[in-house]
Amino acid sequence: MFQTQQPVLKKFYYPVMPASMLAEGPRSVTMFGEPVVLWLDEAGRPSAAVDRCCHRTAKLSKGTVNRGSIVCPYHGWQFDGTGKCTYFPQSELENPPKVYKIKAYHCEERYGHVWVALDDPIADIPAFKRAGEPGFRQIEEFYHPIGCSALRLMENSFDNAHIAFVHHNTFGENTDPVPAEMNIVPFDGGFDMYAEIRVTNKLNNVVKVIDTEETETVRRTHSRWFMPFIRQTDITYPTGLVHSIVTCATPIDDESCMLTQFVFRNDTEADVPAEKVIAFDKAVVDEDMAVLESTEANVPLDLKLRMETHMHSDKPGILMREMLLDLLERYGEREVLPQFGTPQVYKIELKK
């Protein structure tokens, strides 16, 4: 599967930008290869539409905002959050013709972020555990592009076998490669996974984000996958500290995504400054990205194709692939695969 080539994936909400970034004026993002303009309406709510004026294709994100409408920088036409042209300065007609319109998208603000669905959504914006719970703070961690496909990042987030290798300088141990057991319970639109993971405190001894002097600790992790490209991993440490990470990958094109990550924690800035929490998680994400950016853009959903091999601990990733293939089929789509003859296709020969 190539992430921009399966239309049903556009029927989900994705976070596209921290809401605070719109205070200065309109901004542009690329989602699924499509240019999108974002701006605030009169009530301060975000709006989203195609970043292309229907008149002479100028980028609306280079314009301004007037009373909640986006103003094209080229000839001054104005469009509201439904995409309707509300004003065009060259005419004396009271109402602009109906054909003067741009495609508007579903747009909401939640958790301090702007969420956009390019097509009529078939799922709500995820309800995250810990959000708004008393005693919890939200820390914004990352908002930047990454060079891998969204599903690779999702699979990685549930892959306990990579910890000993990829993270041996931070919280893994390469003398301990057998991954923790996991308990997976699927639901409509995702699954829950529980695992108790023994980790080392190598990084914690440098950037202290857990109040412990131990060399090892056990993380009780409840992870939830929200189809297609969002996960929350709620970690409870023996100290009672909860570090609940939300990771979202919003496809930019087939090879890259916008990474949005924030955490909920039940401690305070006086206990551990946000800066430290971010530094800790950045060291970990950098390790993941060094490997993930070397993986292929195509993630084959259909296991029968044997384009990759699998092991026991790949169970969550395999379930993602099965559930996504099922979603595609329910919406009458076929998985888009690399063309034969391109160097990307490596078919694995299994012994008969």
Report, in Å, the least distance between residue 97 CB and ligand FES.
Answer: 13
Specify the stretch interacting with Co ion by CB under 5 A; choose among 2-10, 45-53, 136-144, 288-296: 288-296
Owner of token pair 């259909």: 302
Binding Co ion (rule: CB under 5 A), the pick from 51, 80, 288, 335 is: 288
Q: Which does 72 bind (CB under 5 to 8 A by kind): ligand FES, Co ion, none?
A: ligand FES
Q: How far apart are CA 14 and CA 251, in angstroms?
A: 9
Nearest CB to Co ion, comparing residues 47 and 170: 170
Question: Nearest distance from residue 78's CB to ligand FES, in Å?
Answer: 9
Q: Which residues bind ligand FES (CB under 6 A)?
A: 53, 55-56, 58, 72, 74-75, 77
Which of these ranges, 170-178, 228-236, 250-258, 287-295, lies near Co ion under the rule CB under 5 A?
A: 287-295
Rounded Cα distance between 3 and 151, Å, is 8
Query: What is the smallest separation between the CB atom of 83 and ligand FES, expressed in angstroms?
Result: 13
Residue 153 CA from chain centroid, whole number? 9
Please state, in angstroms and rounded to a whole number, the distance separating the CA atoms of residues 224 and 230: 8
State yes or no: cis peptide before 228, omega within 30 of 0: yes
Strands 137-146 and 46-50: unpaired
Q: Does 281 bind Co ion (CB under 5 A)?
A: no
Pair of tokens at residue 20: 């605070």
The CA distance from 29 to 279, in Å, is: 26
Q: Which is nearer to ligand FES, 89 or 343 (CB)?
A: 89
Min dist CB 89 to ligand FES, Å, is 9
Binding partner of residue 75 among Co ion, ligand FES, none, CB cut-off 5 to 8 Å per kind: ligand FES
Q: In angstroms, what is the minimal distance from the CB of 91 to Co ion?
A: 57
Residues 188 and 255: beta-carbon distance below 8 Å? no
Smallest gap from Cβ 70 to ligand FES, in A, equals 10
**How far apart are CB 40 and ligand FES at their closest, in Å?**
20
Stretch that binds Co ion, among 38-46, 106-114, 192-200, 280-288 (CB under 5 A): 280-288
Measured in whole angstroms, how far is the alpha carbon of residue 46 from the centre of its chain?
19
Report residue 157: phi and psi, to 5°: -65, -20
Residue 278 contacts which entry, Co ion, ligand FES, none (Cβ below 5-8 A, type-dependent): none
Of 38 and 199, nearer to Co ion (C-beta) is 199
User: Is there a contact between 239 and 210 (Cβ–Cβ < 8 Å)?
Assistant: yes
Q: CB under 5 to 8 A by kind: which of Co ion, ligand FES, none does 288 bind?
A: Co ion
Q: Which stretch binds Co ion (CB under 5 A): 54-62, 110-118, 242-250, 283-291?
A: 283-291
Neighbours of 271 (CB within 10 A): 12
CB 250 within 8 A of CB 16: yes
Q: What are phi and psi of 289, to 5 degrees?
A: -65, -30
Q: By three-state DSSP, how is residue 223 classified? A: strand
Cα separation, 22 vs 39, whole angstroms: 6
Q: Which does 74 bind (CB under 5 to 8 A by kind): Co ion, ligand FES, none?
A: ligand FES
Is the CB of 199 or the CB of 301 nearer to Co ion?
A: 199
Q: Which residues bind Co ion (CB under 5 A)?
A: 288
